[in-house]
Copies of this chain bind each other. A is one copy, B any other.
Protein backbone atom coordinates (compact mmCIF):
# COMPACT_ATOMS: atom_id res chain seq x y z
CA UNK A 1 0.00 0.00 0.00
CA UNK A 2 1.37 3.40 -0.99
CA UNK A 3 1.56 5.89 1.87
CA UNK A 4 -0.75 8.86 1.35
CA UNK A 5 1.00 12.19 0.69
CA UNK A 6 1.44 14.49 3.67
CA UNK A 7 -1.20 17.10 4.37
CA UNK A 8 -4.37 17.82 2.42
CA UNK A 9 -5.36 19.70 -0.71
CA UNK A 10 -6.74 23.18 -0.20
CA UNK A 11 -10.08 21.87 -1.49
CA UNK A 12 -10.35 19.59 1.55
CA UNK A 13 -10.11 22.55 3.92
CA UNK A 14 -12.56 24.57 1.84
CA UNK A 15 -15.03 21.68 2.05
CA UNK A 16 -14.60 21.38 5.84
CA UNK A 17 -14.95 25.09 6.36
CA UNK A 18 -17.98 25.26 4.09
CA UNK A 19 -19.66 22.44 5.97
CA UNK A 20 -19.01 24.12 9.33
CA UNK A 21 -20.36 27.39 7.94
CA UNK A 22 -23.53 25.69 6.69
CA UNK A 23 -23.95 24.29 10.18
CA UNK A 24 -23.39 27.69 11.77
CA UNK A 25 -26.00 29.32 9.57
CA UNK A 26 -28.50 26.53 10.16
CA UNK A 27 -28.00 26.97 13.91
CA UNK A 28 -28.29 30.76 13.75
CA UNK A 29 -24.69 31.38 14.77
CA UNK A 30 -22.51 34.12 13.33
CA UNK A 31 -19.12 32.61 14.12
CA UNK A 32 -17.42 29.58 15.62
CA UNK A 33 -14.63 29.90 18.18
CA UNK A 34 -12.22 26.94 18.22
CA UNK A 35 -9.55 26.45 20.90
CA UNK A 36 -8.35 22.83 20.81
CA UNK A 37 -5.53 21.16 18.91
CA UNK A 38 -7.97 18.82 17.16
CA UNK A 39 -10.47 21.44 16.01
CA UNK A 40 -7.77 23.85 14.89
CA UNK A 41 -5.88 21.12 13.03
CA UNK A 42 -9.12 20.07 11.37
CA UNK A 43 -9.93 23.53 10.03
CA UNK A 44 -6.43 24.79 9.23
CA UNK A 45 -4.02 21.84 8.92
CA UNK A 46 -1.87 23.40 11.68
CA UNK A 47 -0.02 20.35 13.04
CA UNK A 48 2.50 20.56 15.87
CA UNK A 49 3.31 18.77 19.10
CA UNK A 50 3.67 22.17 20.74
CA UNK A 51 0.17 21.77 22.21
CA UNK A 52 1.91 19.65 24.86
CA UNK A 53 2.86 22.94 26.51
CA UNK A 54 -0.11 24.34 28.47
CA UNK A 55 1.44 27.82 28.47
CA UNK A 56 -0.32 29.42 25.52
CA UNK A 57 -3.90 29.52 24.22
CA UNK A 58 -4.55 29.32 20.46
CA UNK A 59 -7.70 30.45 18.70
CA UNK A 60 -9.30 30.06 15.29
CA UNK A 61 -12.49 31.88 14.39
CA UNK A 62 -14.67 30.56 11.58
CA UNK A 63 -17.20 33.22 10.61
CA UNK A 64 -20.53 32.08 9.14
CA UNK A 65 -19.35 33.72 5.90
CA UNK A 66 -15.80 34.41 4.82
CA UNK A 67 -12.42 32.94 5.61
CA UNK A 68 -11.22 31.70 9.00
CA UNK A 69 -8.98 33.90 11.11
CA UNK A 70 -6.18 32.54 13.30
CA UNK A 71 -5.50 34.45 16.54
CA UNK A 72 -2.35 32.83 17.85
CA UNK A 73 0.88 33.31 19.77
CA UNK A 74 3.59 34.78 17.55
CA UNK A 75 5.71 31.65 18.03
CA UNK A 76 3.20 29.87 15.74
CA UNK A 77 3.07 32.48 12.96
CA UNK A 78 5.71 30.77 10.80
CA UNK A 79 3.98 27.38 10.88
CA UNK A 80 0.42 28.77 10.56
CA UNK A 81 1.71 30.79 7.61
CA UNK A 82 2.34 27.53 5.78
CA UNK A 83 -1.36 26.54 5.99
CA UNK A 84 -4.19 27.78 3.76
CA UNK A 85 -5.22 30.34 6.40
CA UNK A 86 -4.49 33.80 5.06
CA UNK A 87 -5.45 35.97 8.02
CA UNK A 88 -3.21 35.40 11.02
CA UNK A 89 -3.22 37.77 13.98
CA UNK A 90 -0.55 37.25 16.63
CA UNK A 91 0.42 38.41 20.09
CA UNK A 92 3.56 37.83 22.11
CA UNK A 93 2.44 35.03 24.46
CA UNK A 94 2.48 34.26 27.31
CA UNK A 95 1.45 37.76 28.40
CA UNK A 96 0.27 37.97 32.02
CA UNK A 97 -1.46 41.29 31.35
CA UNK A 98 -3.48 40.21 28.32
CA UNK A 99 -2.89 36.75 26.90
CA UNK A 100 -4.65 37.27 23.59
CA UNK A 101 -8.03 38.20 25.08
CA UNK A 102 -8.11 41.72 23.60
CA UNK A 103 -6.96 40.52 20.20
CA UNK A 104 -9.55 37.75 20.16
CA UNK A 105 -12.31 40.07 21.40
CA UNK A 106 -11.47 42.58 18.68
CA UNK A 107 -11.44 39.85 16.04
CA UNK A 108 -14.79 38.46 17.12
CA UNK A 109 -16.15 41.99 17.46
CA UNK A 110 -15.16 42.70 13.85
CA UNK A 111 -16.81 39.54 12.56
CA UNK A 112 -19.96 39.33 14.66
CA UNK A 113 -22.62 42.07 15.00
CA UNK A 114 -23.54 43.29 18.47
CA UNK A 115 -26.73 41.27 18.55
CA UNK A 116 -24.91 38.26 17.13
CA UNK A 117 -24.24 34.78 18.44
CA UNK A 118 -20.87 33.05 18.77
CA UNK A 119 -20.69 29.28 19.09
CA UNK A 120 -18.01 27.26 20.79
CA UNK A 121 -18.09 23.57 21.75
CA UNK A 122 -19.43 23.13 25.30
CA UNK A 123 -20.83 19.59 25.20
CA UNK A 124 -19.78 15.97 25.73
CA UNK A 125 -16.20 15.14 24.74
CA UNK A 126 -15.28 18.81 24.30
CA UNK A 127 -13.04 21.13 26.28
CA UNK A 128 -12.35 24.84 26.22
CA UNK A 129 -8.60 25.16 25.87
CA UNK A 130 -8.05 28.57 27.37
CA UNK A 131 -7.94 29.90 30.90
CA UNK A 132 -11.47 29.97 32.30
CA UNK A 133 -10.89 33.45 33.71
CA UNK A 134 -9.95 34.66 30.23
CA UNK A 135 -13.12 33.11 28.83
CA UNK A 136 -15.17 35.10 31.33
CA UNK A 137 -13.24 38.27 30.45
CA UNK A 138 -13.82 37.57 26.75
CA UNK A 139 -17.57 37.09 27.11
CA UNK A 140 -17.80 40.32 29.14
CA UNK A 141 -15.94 42.17 26.40
CA UNK A 142 -18.16 40.74 23.68
CA UNK A 143 -21.52 41.46 25.31
CA UNK A 144 -24.26 41.89 24.20
CA UNK A 145 -23.04 39.21 21.79
CA UNK A 146 -23.94 35.79 23.21
CA UNK A 147 -21.83 32.64 23.47
CA UNK A 148 -23.70 29.38 22.81
CA UNK A 149 -22.89 25.68 22.51
CA UNK A 150 -21.65 24.65 19.04
CA UNK A 151 -20.88 21.01 19.84
CA UNK A 152 -23.36 19.73 17.25
CA UNK A 153 -22.06 22.03 14.54
CA UNK A 154 -18.53 20.71 14.94
CA UNK A 155 -19.30 17.06 15.64
CA UNK A 156 -21.73 16.53 12.74
CA UNK A 157 -19.03 17.72 10.35
CA UNK A 158 -15.93 16.16 11.89
CA UNK A 159 -17.52 12.74 12.46
CA UNK A 160 -17.89 11.98 8.73
CA UNK A 161 -14.45 11.50 7.27
CA UNK A 162 -13.46 12.33 3.71
CA UNK A 163 -11.69 9.65 1.67
CA UNK A 164 -8.47 11.61 2.21
CA UNK A 165 -8.98 11.32 5.96
CA UNK A 166 -9.84 7.62 5.74
CA UNK A 167 -6.57 7.10 3.86
CA UNK A 168 -4.67 8.80 6.69
CA UNK A 169 -6.30 6.61 9.34
CA UNK A 170 -5.75 3.49 7.23
CA UNK A 171 -2.05 4.39 7.03
CA UNK A 172 -1.89 4.83 10.82
CA UNK A 173 -3.60 1.44 11.24
CA UNK A 174 -1.05 -0.12 8.89
CA UNK A 175 1.75 1.15 11.14
CA UNK A 176 0.15 -0.67 14.07
CA UNK A 177 -0.55 -3.78 11.96
CA UNK A 178 3.12 -4.09 11.05
CA UNK A 179 4.07 -3.50 14.67
CA UNK A 180 1.70 -6.11 16.06
CA UNK A 181 3.17 -8.61 13.58
CA UNK A 182 6.57 -7.98 15.21
CA UNK A 183 5.42 -8.44 18.82
CA UNK A 184 7.02 -11.94 18.99
CA UNK A 185 10.38 -10.15 18.54
CA UNK A 186 10.09 -8.43 21.91
CA UNK A 187 7.42 -10.14 24.03
CA UNK A 188 8.02 -13.58 25.47
CA UNK A 189 7.95 -15.59 28.67
CA UNK A 190 9.95 -13.82 31.39
CA UNK A 191 10.22 -10.45 29.67
CA UNK A 192 9.21 -7.56 31.99
CA UNK A 193 6.05 -5.77 30.88
CA UNK A 194 7.66 -2.33 30.98
CA UNK A 195 10.36 -3.47 28.57
CA UNK A 196 7.64 -4.81 26.28
CA UNK A 197 5.80 -1.46 26.38
CA UNK A 198 9.02 0.39 25.57
CA UNK A 199 9.84 -1.88 22.63
CA UNK A 200 6.27 -1.65 21.41
CA UNK A 201 6.66 2.13 21.09
CA UNK A 202 10.10 1.77 19.51
CA UNK A 203 8.79 -0.57 16.81
CA UNK A 204 5.78 1.68 16.15
CA UNK A 205 8.27 4.43 15.33
CA UNK A 206 10.35 2.09 13.20
CA UNK A 207 7.23 1.09 11.29
CA UNK A 208 6.34 4.68 10.44
CA UNK A 209 4.57 6.40 13.34
CA UNK A 210 5.46 10.09 13.49
CA UNK A 211 4.91 9.88 17.22
CA UNK A 212 3.21 7.58 19.69
CA UNK A 213 0.63 9.53 21.65
CA UNK A 214 -0.88 6.56 23.36
CA UNK A 215 0.08 3.07 24.34
CA UNK A 216 -1.61 0.99 26.95
CA UNK A 217 -2.09 -2.62 27.77
CA UNK A 218 -1.88 -5.12 30.50
CA UNK A 219 -0.87 -8.66 31.36
CA UNK A 220 -2.23 -11.12 33.87
CA UNK A 221 -3.20 -14.72 34.43
CA UNK A 222 -5.98 -15.42 31.95
CA UNK A 223 -6.85 -11.72 31.63
CA UNK A 224 -5.87 -8.31 32.94
CA UNK A 225 -7.13 -6.04 35.70
CA UNK A 226 -7.58 -2.84 33.74
CA UNK A 227 -6.45 -1.24 30.51
CA UNK A 228 -5.17 2.16 31.59
CA UNK A 229 -2.34 1.41 34.05
CA UNK A 230 1.29 2.07 33.18
CA UNK A 231 3.44 -1.03 32.84
CA UNK A 232 5.25 -2.46 35.83
CA UNK A 233 8.48 -4.48 35.74
CA UNK A 234 6.51 -7.71 36.33
CA UNK A 235 7.84 -10.43 33.96
CA UNK A 236 5.41 -12.15 31.60
CA UNK A 237 4.42 -15.50 33.09
CA UNK A 238 3.05 -18.71 31.64
CA UNK A 239 -0.73 -18.42 31.51
CA UNK A 240 -0.73 -14.63 31.12
CA UNK A 241 -2.70 -12.84 28.48
CA UNK A 242 -0.73 -9.88 27.17
CA UNK A 243 -2.70 -7.02 25.62
CA UNK A 244 -1.11 -4.14 23.76
CA UNK A 245 -3.15 -1.15 22.60
CA UNK A 246 -2.00 1.88 20.68
CA UNK A 247 -2.89 5.28 19.37
CA UNK A 248 0.02 5.80 17.00
CA UNK A 249 -0.08 8.99 14.96
CA UNK A 250 0.80 9.45 11.33
CA UNK A 251 0.32 12.88 9.73
CA UNK A 252 -1.99 13.96 12.55
CA UNK A 253 -4.37 10.98 12.40
CA UNK A 254 -4.69 8.19 14.95
CA UNK A 255 -5.26 4.50 14.88
CA UNK A 256 -6.68 2.89 18.02
CA UNK A 257 -6.76 -0.87 18.29
CA UNK A 258 -5.32 -3.61 20.45
CA UNK A 259 -4.09 -7.18 20.13
CA UNK A 260 -3.99 -10.01 22.66
CA UNK A 261 -1.36 -12.70 23.00
CA UNK A 262 -1.21 -15.86 25.12
CA UNK A 263 2.00 -16.49 27.03
CA UNK A 264 2.07 -20.26 26.68
CA UNK A 265 -1.25 -21.89 27.45
CA UNK A 266 -4.03 -19.80 28.94
CA UNK A 267 -7.06 -20.94 30.89
CA UNK A 268 -10.00 -22.42 28.94
CA UNK A 269 -12.40 -19.71 30.14
CA UNK A 270 -10.06 -17.12 28.64
CA UNK A 271 -10.03 -18.94 25.32
CA UNK A 272 -13.84 -19.05 25.36
CA UNK A 273 -14.04 -15.33 26.19
CA UNK A 274 -11.67 -14.55 23.35
CA UNK A 275 -13.76 -16.59 20.92
CA UNK A 276 -16.87 -14.73 22.09
CA UNK A 277 -15.24 -11.33 21.55
CA UNK A 278 -14.14 -12.39 18.12
CA UNK A 279 -17.64 -13.61 17.23
CA UNK A 280 -19.27 -10.45 18.59
CA UNK A 281 -16.96 -8.36 16.44
CA UNK A 282 -17.82 -10.50 13.40
CA UNK A 283 -21.49 -9.95 14.12
CA UNK A 284 -20.96 -6.18 14.21
CA UNK A 285 -18.88 -6.29 11.03
CA UNK A 286 -21.73 -8.10 9.30
CA UNK A 287 -24.67 -6.11 10.59
CA UNK A 288 -23.70 -2.46 11.18
CA UNK A 289 -25.34 -0.04 8.76
CA UNK A 290 -25.76 3.72 8.50
CA UNK A 291 -28.95 4.78 10.26
CA UNK A 292 -28.35 2.61 13.30
CA UNK A 293 -27.54 4.40 16.55
CA UNK A 294 -24.46 4.11 18.74
CA UNK A 295 -26.71 2.37 21.28
CA UNK A 296 -27.60 -0.22 18.62
CA UNK A 297 -23.93 -1.09 18.21
CA UNK A 298 -23.63 -1.55 21.97
CA UNK A 299 -26.61 -3.89 21.91
CA UNK A 300 -25.28 -5.90 18.95
CA UNK A 301 -21.88 -6.36 20.59
CA UNK A 302 -23.45 -7.38 23.91
CA UNK A 303 -25.77 -9.84 22.21
CA UNK A 304 -22.85 -11.27 20.26
CA UNK A 305 -20.85 -11.80 23.44
CA UNK A 306 -23.76 -13.28 25.37
CA UNK A 307 -24.64 -15.61 22.51
CA UNK A 308 -21.18 -17.13 22.98
CA UNK A 309 -21.36 -17.30 26.73
CA UNK A 310 -19.37 -14.19 27.62
CA UNK A 311 -20.34 -11.47 30.11
CA UNK A 312 -20.05 -7.99 28.58
CA UNK A 313 -17.87 -5.61 30.57
CA UNK A 314 -19.09 -2.19 31.66
CA UNK A 315 -18.30 1.07 29.93
CA UNK A 316 -18.38 1.79 26.25
CA UNK A 317 -17.68 -0.86 23.63
CA UNK A 318 -16.17 1.38 20.97
CA UNK A 319 -16.13 4.95 19.76
CA UNK A 320 -15.21 7.34 16.97
CA UNK A 321 -11.62 7.84 15.87
CA UNK A 322 -9.72 10.39 13.82
CA UNK A 323 -7.77 13.48 14.79
CA UNK A 324 -7.97 12.42 18.42
CA UNK A 325 -7.46 8.98 19.92
CA UNK A 326 -11.14 8.78 20.73
CA UNK A 327 -14.03 10.73 19.26
CA UNK A 328 -17.77 10.58 19.74
CA UNK A 329 -20.05 8.68 19.49
CA UNK A 330 -19.65 6.16 22.31
CA UNK A 331 -21.10 2.69 22.03
CA UNK A 332 -23.11 2.80 25.26
CA UNK A 333 -26.77 2.02 25.93
CA UNK A 334 -27.56 5.75 26.16
CA UNK A 335 -25.80 7.25 23.13
CA UNK A 336 -28.42 7.93 20.45
CA UNK A 337 -25.99 9.36 17.87
CA UNK A 338 -26.99 8.14 14.41
CA UNK A 339 -24.29 6.32 12.47
CA UNK A 340 -23.50 7.73 9.05
CA UNK A 341 -21.53 6.55 6.08
CA UNK A 342 -17.96 7.79 6.37
CA UNK A 343 -17.72 7.52 10.14
CA UNK A 344 -14.49 5.93 11.36
CA UNK A 345 -15.16 3.83 14.44
CA UNK A 346 -13.62 1.33 16.80
CA UNK A 347 -15.39 -1.91 17.71
CA UNK A 348 -14.16 -2.69 21.19
CA UNK A 349 -16.09 -5.45 22.92
CA UNK A 350 -14.81 -6.27 26.38
CA UNK A 351 -15.70 -9.27 28.49
CA UNK A 352 -15.53 -9.83 32.21
CA UNK A 353 -14.04 -13.30 32.77
CA UNK A 354 -13.89 -13.10 36.55
CA UNK A 355 -13.63 -10.27 39.09
CA UNK A 356 -10.52 -8.26 38.21
CA UNK A 357 -9.97 -10.22 35.02
CA UNK A 358 -11.08 -8.77 31.68
CA UNK A 359 -10.33 -9.24 28.00
CA UNK A 360 -10.74 -6.51 25.35
CA UNK A 361 -10.67 -6.93 21.57
CA UNK A 362 -10.58 -4.00 19.16
CA UNK A 363 -10.79 -3.29 15.42
CA UNK A 364 -10.97 -0.05 13.45
CA UNK A 365 -13.50 0.40 10.67
CA UNK A 366 -14.95 2.96 8.32
CA UNK A 367 -18.69 2.63 7.94
CA UNK A 368 -19.85 2.47 4.32
CA UNK A 369 -23.38 2.41 2.90
CA UNK A 370 -23.09 -1.38 2.64
CA UNK A 371 -21.54 -1.90 6.06
CA UNK A 372 -18.16 -1.72 7.78
CA UNK A 373 -14.85 -1.77 5.92
CA UNK A 374 -11.93 -2.82 8.11
CA UNK A 375 -9.04 -0.37 8.45
CA UNK A 376 -7.09 -2.62 10.80
CA UNK A 377 -6.08 -6.07 9.59
CA UNK A 378 -8.53 -8.46 11.26
CA UNK A 379 -7.05 -10.06 14.38
CA UNK A 380 -6.40 -13.79 14.18
CA UNK A 381 -9.37 -15.88 15.31
CA UNK A 382 -7.15 -17.86 17.66
CA UNK A 383 -5.18 -16.09 20.35
CA UNK A 384 -1.55 -16.09 19.13
CA UNK A 385 0.78 -17.92 21.50
CA UNK A 386 4.15 -16.45 22.53
CA UNK A 387 6.64 -18.71 24.25
Interface residues, chain A, CB within 8 Å of chain B? 38, 47-50, 52-55, 73-76, 78-79, 82, 92-97, 99, 120-133, 135-136, 149, 151, 194, 197-199, 201-202, 205-206, 209-216, 225-230, 247, 314-316, 319, 324-326, 328, 330, 332, 334-336, 356
Contact = CB atoms under 8 A, between A and B. Distances in A.
A330 to B, nearest CB: 5
B127 A123 contact: no
Contacts of A325: 52-53
B131 A94 contact: no
Nearest to A210: B230
Among A74, A127, A130, A335, which residue has the most Cβ atoms of chain B within 10 A?
A127
A329 to B, nearest CB: 9
A128 B127 contact: yes
Copies in the complex: 2
A204 B78 CA distance: 28
A334 B99 CA distance: 11
Contact of A125 (B55, B76, B136): B55
Contacts of A226: 75, 78-79
A184 to B, nearest CB: 19
A319 B230 contact: no
A202 B210 CA distance: 11
A127 B125 contact: no
A214 B49 CA distance: 6
A328 B205 CA distance: 32
A332 B95 contact: yes
A50 B228 contact: yes
A149 B133 contact: yes
Nearest to A230: B47
Contacts of A54: 38, 125-127, 324, 326
A48 B206 contact: no
B124 A213 contact: no
A226 B80 CA distance: 11
Between A73, A121, A122, the greatest number of chain B beta carbons within 10 A of the residue's beta carbon is seen for A122
Contact of A229 (B78, B130, B334): B78
A52 B230 contact: no
B126 A52 contact: no
A345 B124 CA distance: 36
A319 B226 CA distance: 36
B212 A212 contact: yes
A356 B319 CA distance: 43
Contacts of A326: 53-55
A124 B96 contact: yes
11 contacts: A49-B213, A54-B127, A74-B314, A75-B315, A76-B228, A78-B226, A82-B229, A94-B124, A96-B335, A96-B336, A202-B202
A53 B230 contact: no
Contacts of A52: 213-214, 247, 324-325
